[in-house]
Amino acid sequence: MGKRVLLVTADLLFRSKLAAVVAAAGGEVTRDEATCDLAVLELPGPAADRVGELVRRRVPVLAFGSHVRPEALRAAREAGATAVPNSQVETRLRELLNG
């Protein structure tokens, strides 16, 4: 069975692209944070506050955001997430789902 992936992004274009990556890997997008196997969170935003809690629960977190906001990416890394610029999020998500 594929992974259940929590996608938190306000950008509908990213959401549809990332949902397609999840589906292609045999996973499913979920809204249930309590049962997800992987969380993909857009930075900055309300989801940024959830990185630490998810990591403490041992949920892998892939955070992504604009390369011109390195402080948001750095803060997510310091909280235990894998954090990448927008340009790398699809590739990194594929790796996490297939690896």
> Rounded to the nearest 10 degrees, how much is the dihedral formed by the CA atoms of 73, 78, 82, 88?
20
Taking only the tens place, the pLDDT of each residue in 34-51 is: 999 999 999 987 777 889
- How far CA 50 is from CA of 53, 97, 99, in Å, comes to 5, 21, 24
Taking only the tens place, the pLDDT of each residue in 9-42 is: 988 988 999 999 999 999 999 999 999 999 999 9
User: For the chain, which domains are there?
Assistant: 4-98 (3.40.50.2300)
Mean pLDDT for 68-97 is 94
Q: For tokens 């929590």, name the residue.
A: 6
pTM of the model: 0.93
